[in-house]
Every structure is written in structure tokens, then in C-alpha cells.
Structure 1
């Protein structure tokens, strides 16, 4: 016969009486009741609370109501949750008033709030947000050597106004490198240097004019986009008057068969952002066929194509049809976003319009940085750095997977064959509370919901997008421990 929660309190948690009353519904009432039990001393620090299911059955409420209440109190610092240890009253939380004075110091009634609360003001101690490489791993010595050579060997005209197309030295070097490493087919005159992907979007779509949506740029909407992507890019496009049409995603990438009368489509074919996985070969061919039939263009965001671990390299989509694909890359993931260097590989018909949009002089990308990058790539330093970081990030990926398997085996981790981040699938209804808990525990994380297109046909899924590249190596272990500490229990 199954034991009731009350009869098994010593094994699974504390037996206590809770009165659920007051405004705000059952969840708000349960949160108030638990806070009052802690403040009044009926729940002492370290006391283990019953599991969601047991307390829900005892109180006659839904399991999610208890889970949300626990998560809210974890986020506020009243409770702690750890896999294998359950949910407990936080060690530093003291009653509002006890009237006793001990050897340890002042009366316990002096503490009215959880000791974890100040962490919010201090900012995150562990940065696990996506999008950034390990800043401490920047190859300072090799970059300094390339920069010194570039300055010493640069012709005098390099110190004048910059060519908006970018330095010829860099465009020639990129032509060779992109062909060798990514399968891109181009020549120097079809490459335009920019400051990164966002700058490329601004040049391509401009800003809306009275001529209509997207009328001020090289390209016009509507633009097909993947159902999950960076909200910043969607906002940039919306500001330019470009209507975006979300495409559903599955394990094979974007469902490109849904494309219709769009004038262009933006894809991350090598590694879908943020869910992971490459675009299936049949869909790669299908989107090229669509572009040819419609006279449309494909924008390829190759944001981290250099980093793959458990799969064969996936070449650039651009190699299938250089006249129908605009290939966009940068060094923001491979080296550093601080360099502000990127490139567009354009079909010939778009080169002059993009240069016109950019202006007569280079106003974005440092000419000296361009020359240094050309030397850095040509001398082999870039390849060596990428190989070294590929190994380092793979080790970090493996440590993340191992930590989750040990401390949170109920959490599914996906999108780990390539890139600098992983997606953690959470139990339904727990993403928001998990992010709150992370803030109070000093862990910076991204929720999956933030990347979902507001008109996405896909159902909302709770999850975290965990960047395992950003923390310095010496801080990574503590960051993983903190991450596991804020995940919802199974």
C-alpha cells in the first residue's frame, strides 16, 4: 500500500499544516503560506519539503501549482533546490522574530529577507548566455604579431580613407580561406567587408521609405525566417519595414516547402540557431530550386560553421548556387565580437547596390584590423586558433552533458553536435521560474522562448539556451554547478 505524504514525512519532507487563503488564487495562496511558515519559524533552515506530487495531493491542488510556488520561492531565495536533495528551506533564512539571543551574535529577528537577495544587485557571477566565445582565450600574442606586421608592411594609402568594399588583402585572403574551409565559391570583387551580421542586414534591407516595406534597401520583404532566431535581428528588420514570415522547424531544419511569395529567406543552414542541427540535404536543394524559380535570394548566416564535434563538416549552402545565395560570416564567434569584422559574399548583381548603401568611405570596419586579420589568416594563425578552440569547446560540451547526466538526468539536452551552445528541454511551465531562480543565484541564462518568432506556427516549448563557451576555463566548473542548482527537479 502506498504511504501518504503525512505518514512518510521523515523520508520525503516535513509534515506541516498550510492554510490556503487570500486573494490571487491557489498558487499565490500557497506562496504566502510557505513564506509565513518560514517567517514564523515553523519551517526551519534546512527543512526538506515534500515533493510536488505529494504536497499537491495533500492540499488538493494541481502539481504545477506546487511546482510554480516552489520555483518562485527558490527564485526569491527562500528555498533551495538540488537534484537528489530535494527542495529545502534555504540555510540563511531566519525567522522574523524569535526573542532569543545566542552566542553567534545579534537577535535573529534582525534578518527579514533571504540572504541570497543581494546577488541580484551584484550582477551575474556565472555567464552562460549564448553568443560569446571565451574572451580569455583570445590569441593575444599571435594577433599582436599580425597587427604589428600589418602596420609595418601596409602601403601608405592604407592610412587614408578606406574602400567601402574592404581592403583587397583581406578580400583575397577570405576568397581562399572560405573556399578551403567552407566550400564558398567566389572571387575578391564579390566580397564586401562589414562589421558583422547586423550591419549586413542593415545594408541589405536599409530602412522603410514611402515606397513601401523595405523600399530603402537592396532587398525587399517579405522575408522568410526560421521560427526560432535572434529577436534582435527581427527587431532590426521590423525597424526597416520588412515583414518576416516564420517557417516551422523540425529535426531536419527549416520547413522550406512552406516558402511561397517571399522575396528572400534567411537561414542558418550549417547549425540552426538556436535549436541546433544542419539543414537536411534535400531541403538545401529545395530552397535553391525555390530561389531560382521565384527569382529570389537566400541569405545564409554562417555564424559558427567552424565548430563541429560529432558530425562531418557541413559546407556552405552558397556553394550550390553562388548567384542565388548571399553568404554572411564574421569573426565574432571564432575570435571575438570586439573586432567588429564580418563579410558578405554577394551575387555580382548585388555588389554595387550594397556599396552604394554603404557609402563612399569605410565608416565601420577598421582598416588596420582588416589588414591584421588578413595576415592572421594567411599565416595560419586563424586555423590554429580555431582547431584549439574546437577542442576546448568540445571538452566543455562534454562536461556540460556529463554534469546534466549526473545531477539532472530528467533534463534532455539537444543541439550539441556543433556550435557554442546547447538547448536544455525543461518540464512544461518551468522556464520562467527557472530563469528567475537563475537570476537570484547569479547565473545568466537565455530562455528558449525569447528566440521564438511571435507568429511562429510551432508550439511553445520550455527550455534554456546554455552557452558553454563564454566562461573562462577556471570558472567553468563553478558555472556548471550553479546551473544544475537552478534546474527544476525531476
Structure 2
């Protein structure tokens, strides 16, 4: 039954019929049931449904338009007005919250992707749609449609050297679902703590904690995660980004890779390998193969299309050791009924046809140019600063001179219409690590990268305010570490990077 048919029109109570209709619509608008922009039935249709004269409805609508509740748009009918003030929205864990309007947004967020291959994706989606039968439109297998798992096994084998087969793969809604499933399964395996890289993604730390698993920060240096510190922590599971560590961009050294695999074999530990920007590698030399190759019985390899295509697709995958796959499937069965089949079939065609490889080649060429532009801009405008880590993915880590006041720089950049994250926001504890910026560069034109860096440099070159002046402006920084400029809706858990 449509909502409008629930209007209770009573002819005997002395209240005009027009007023009864008005009162109902006002109440539903105020309650948030009728949202701004909602189209209402025509006056003729509503009159027929309620059994009243059309003039009654016309008068009711006219009065609501006059009072600002409705608007009559030529050719588009009568709608709830679009400019009604919405209720404040509380940012969720994975939401960036409200941010100011700025000219240059350098956050490594979900919006930081350069281009979506619309035409190629449409071609693949149409091919998939033309080939489906009724069985394909039923509830999908929890592991994912067979065609995509086959293509993923082929792609991951040749691109990453992954030891896997279609039956060991599961298609998921991005890495967030992979981590949620693992956090649901780990306590049943006697694991109540998870090693997390430090610095790392603060949203992931909070997410793990809220799933009932204790996050244990493990330091990262220029070789990647410190395996000796990991062993000393006593944890039996660890989450790592070995190919391109987030946020520092370092690649796990061969020595550390071997040590990490040895730790897993010796302790019976579990490694969660987050290959979050897997296909994006434009560093000189070959991209490291999957860590999973070294200890396939101890590694869950997880990937995503969020960086190479778009996060809105919610396409990810995991390859798990066989004993772990069944518990993961049981955990998933308690919460959802699988991933959208048509998107899976389209992605399978995208992989099979070679269009995904072609897209990655274009994307890597584009990102390589923008990374080079960033390095040149930093070298020219920020003396003593340098871009570190492997040239890969959609972001870069800019290490600042030791004396730099990171908080003041971030706040000053914001005043110059540049939104950028300081490195301190990604550390587990205040005061860890030297000053740095985490810069999303893939979405910007080359001229924009140069201009944004010059604005940051201008903020850096301003004479530093006195401590008392800085205290008076404390709304511009967060916490004792002074890690980020504040804005409405910001929080320590909101890093500006939506993990896939």
C-alpha cells in the first residue's frame, strides 16, 4: 500500500478535508518519511485514491506550496522541497565526515582515483547482461560466481604469483568485509589480538577493536614491519601491507619477507596480506610477488578493485588456506547473501577480455607522471622534504624536516584552501614518528599538484606563531601531537582514507 493511501480522510469530524490532507503530509515530512525531492502523486491520482474532489487536493497542495513544504515544478509534478534542512548526520566509522570546501583536496581518500573506464565497463556489463540466464539471477554463491573466481585465479597467478585455485577464493564487498569476517573467525581459533602496522590506518585499528579483537601496534621502519617486534608482542595474527605499506609507502624487504613467513610457520601464526592497491605499480623494477607464496598455509591474501577501478563497486576478494575458508563462509552466511552477481560477471569479462590489463597500463602511466610531478614540486618548493617509499598506488608519503611543526603546517595549508593529512594522524600514539604529510595525488592534474604544493610551502614559510597564539587557535589542530587540522565532523578515527 502506498503511503498516500494511508491518509485517513474523515468527513464527519468537522475538520475540512483539505486540512486533513495537509496535516498528514506535514507530519510525514517532519518525521523524515517524505524526503526532500520526493515526488507526490498527481492531484487527480490522489483525489481518486482518497475518494474526494480533485479541488480538495489542489487546494491542499497549493497551501503546502505556499507554506514552503512542497514545490510545483513544470513537467515534473509536485515534490517535497529540496532545500528543507536535513537532520545532522553523524559520521560513521568509514565516513570522512563533513569537510570544508577547499580548492585542493590532497587526502588519500576514496575520491582519490583518477579515472573510471566507463566505456569499457559498460561494454563488459552489457556482455555479461546479455549472457545471463535465470540461474545467474538467483542468489549468488557466498564464495562468488564461478566465472569471476576462475578469472581471478588466473589473473592473481600471473600478476602476483599467487598460489591459489578458484575453490580457495571468495569474492567479498571490499577489504572491509574481509577484515570483518576474519575478526569474526579469529576468536574461535583462540586468537584475541591482531598485530597492526604502526603507522597504519586508524580506521582499521578502531574497526578491529569494535569487532572484539585487540589491536596491537607493531612498528614499521624503512624495511617494512619489524618482525622481531612482532615476535616479541606474542600475537598470533598480523595484518600487513607488504607491497606498498600504508601510509609510508615502503615495500617489505626480502629479508623481512622471509622472516615474516618463518614467524608464521614457527608459531602457527596467521598473516593477513592486504594488497590494497595491487595493480598500481610504477616503481622501477618488478613489483614484489605475493607474500602468500612463501607460506600459503599461513596467509590470507586479500585484494580489491577499489583503487584500480572505484570503491563504489564494492568488489574485493580473498584467498584463504582451506581450513580457514569454511569458517569464513559460515561467518558470512550469518550476515549477508553474497555479492551482486551482475557486477561480478562484468568484472569477470573485464579480466577475461584483457580490458582490465589495458586499463591498468593507462592508469600506471598516468599515476607515474603525477608522482614525478609531486616529487619535483616537493623538491622545488619544500627544502629538506622528500617523497619516500615505492612509487605505487594512489598516494605518497612526504617526509618533512625534523624541525617542522606538522600541526601548524596542516592548519596553515587549510587556511590556504589545501586539505592535507599529517603523518601523526596515522600513528597509534601521539608523538610517534617524525613530521610528514600523506598526499593523495592520483586525481589531480599536474598543474594542480604543483600549485597545491606551493600553497603548502607558503603555509610553511609563514613565521611560526607564538605558543600563546597557537593556543588561541587550538581549534585548528587536534590533540597533543597536533596531527591534523580540525573541521566540523573530523575525528581521530577519520583518516581521510577509506580503506577498501
Same fold (TM over 0.5): yes
C-alpha displacement of 1:257: 1.7
Change (3 A) 1:153 1:475: farther
C-alpha displacement of 1:161: 1.2
Partner of 2:348: 374
C-alpha displacement of 1:461: 1.4
User: In the alignment, does 2:441 pair up with 1:468?
Assistant: yes
C-alpha displacement of 1:291: 1.0
Residue 275 of structure 1, aligned match among 238, 248, 251: 248
User: In the alignment, does 2:177 pair up with 1:177?
Assistant: no
**Tell me, which stretches of 5 or more residues in structure 2 are unaligned?**
1-97, 464-500
User: In the alignment, does 2:430 pair up with 1:430?
Assistant: no
C-alpha displacement of 1:426: 2.5
Task: Tell me the secondary structure at the aligned position of residue 206 of structure 1.
Answer: helix
Partner of 1:154: 132
Question: How do 1:449-464 residues align onto structure 2 when only pairs under 5 Å count?
Answer: 449-454=424-429, 459-464=432-437
User: In the alignment, does 2:228 pair up with 1:257?
Assistant: yes
Partner of 1:302: 275
Map Cα deviations across residues 202-229 of structure 1 (whole Å, 9 max, x no partner).
011129xxxxxx63x6673321221111
CA distance in 1, matches of 2:285, 2:456: 27
Partner of 2:307: 333
Question: How do 1:210-289 residues align onto structure 2 when only pairs under 5 Å count?
Answer: 215=187, 220-260=191-231, 261-289=234-262
User: In the alignment, does 2:285 pair up with 1:311?
Assistant: yes
User: In the alignment, does 2:422 pair up with 1:447?
Assistant: yes
C-alpha displacement of 1:487: 3.6
8 Å contact kept, 1:274–1:423: yes
Partner of 1:199: 177
**Tell me, which stretches of 5 or more residues in structure 1 are unaligned?**
1-119, 208-213
C-alpha displacement of 1:438: 2.1
Task: Tell me the secondary structure at the aligned position of residue 326 of structure 2.
Answer: helix
CA distance in 2, matches of 1:197, 1:301: 8
Q: TM-score scaled to structure 2, two decimals?
A: 0.68
Question: How do 1:21-60 residues align onto structure 2 when only pairs under 5 Å count?
Answer: none
Alpha-carbon RMSD across the aligned residues, in angstroms, is: 2.3
Partner of 1:29: none
CA distance in 2, matches of 1:326, 1:444: 35
Task: Tell me the secondary structure at the aligned position of residue 311 of structure 1.
Answer: coil
8 Å contact kept, 2:175–2:302: yes
8 Å contact kept, 2:196–2:205: no
C-alpha displacement of 1:360: 6.8
C-alpha displacement of 1:132: 3.8
Map Cα deviations across residues 109-163 of structure 1 (whole Å, 9 max, x no partner).
xxxxxxxxxxx98512211111446545110000000001111112321111121
Alignment size in residue pairs: 362
8 Å contact kept, 1:204–1:354: yes
Task: Tell me the secondary structure at the aligned position of residue 438 of structure 2.
Answer: strand
8 Å contact kept, 1:131–1:333: no
Partner of 2:42: none
Map Cα deviations across residues 400-431 of structure 1 (whole Å, 9 max, x no partner).
11112222222222124322222222243511
Partner of 1:291: 264
